[in-house]
Copies of this chain bind each other. A is one copy, B any other.
Amino acid sequence: MTEAPITTVDCVLLTLRAGALHVALLRREAAPFKGALALPGGYVHPAEDVDALAAARRVLREKADVVPPYLEQLCTFAGSGRDPRGWSISIAHYALVHEAVLGARPTLVPVDELPQLPFDHGRIVETAVHRVRDKSSYSTLPCYLLPPTFTLSALQRTYEQVLGVALDKSQFRRRIAEWSFLEEVPGAFSAGKGRPAQLYRIRPRQRLELFDRTV
């Protein structure tokens, strides 16, 4: 009566490269779709993983060699139509990382020019991107696409690239200041062309993410 279905976790690993959101894909080492580019994923290992998030974390560590600063459950995709082997479940997660922490293993693909992907991975990526774009307008999510320390201008560029709109500098800074989830890195400034900029980092404890609704 139980006929337990195939149970996996899949991860949409997103990063910002050349000003555009990219998703990290890996070549599948096993059938079905052996050799195709697909989301990093794998079976849940009941003996090792205490829960689904832990399974996702393990998959990312083992297969993509990444420990992301932000990882969250996205949605569960389940049904008879998504895997040729039969009824299956994928507990999908999404993660944000700075490009630099990705090694050479994953292939980065712009999310707005997705190729055909195996299973329903195309739909999973779309759902994740939609979620990230939506949530970015009222949360600190885009911070996790940057290195641990960054300037406010870099942060604004990141928000703009994720949201796909231009933001007003003065207003953007007002809001970020209100949320006060950032702190100055004392004495640290960016190099570069014009006036050096103060570097900021996410305030230690403070892992709050959701704020007033609109950037």
Contact = CB atoms under 8 A, between A and B. Distances in A.
Interface of A: 1-7, 43-44, 46-47, 49-52, 54, 73, 75-76, 78-81, 86-87, 89, 91, 138, 213-214
Contacts of A80: 46, 50-51
A79 B44 CA distance: 10
Contacts of A75: 73
A87 B46 CA distance: 6
A1 to B, nearest CB: 7
Contacts of A91: 76, 78, 89
Contacts of A76: 52, 73, 76, 91
9 contacts: A1-B43, A3-B47, A7-B7, A44-B78, A50-B79, A51-B78, A51-B80, A51-B81, A54-B79
Nearest to A82: B51
Give the number of times this chain occurs in the complex, counting copies. 2
A142 to B, nearest CB: 18
A78 B76 CA distance: 11
A44 B78 CA distance: 10
Contacts of A52: 76, 78-79, 89
A81 B50 CA distance: 8
Contact of A2 (B1, B2, B6): B6
Contacts of A89: 7, 52, 89, 91
Nearest to A76: B76
B7 A5 contact: yes
Nearest to A75: B73
A214 B213 CA distance: 8
Contacts of A54: 79
The residue in A4, A49, A214 that gathers the most chain B C-beta atoms within 10 A of its C-beta is A4
A2 B213 contact: no
Contact of A4 (B4, B78, B79): B4
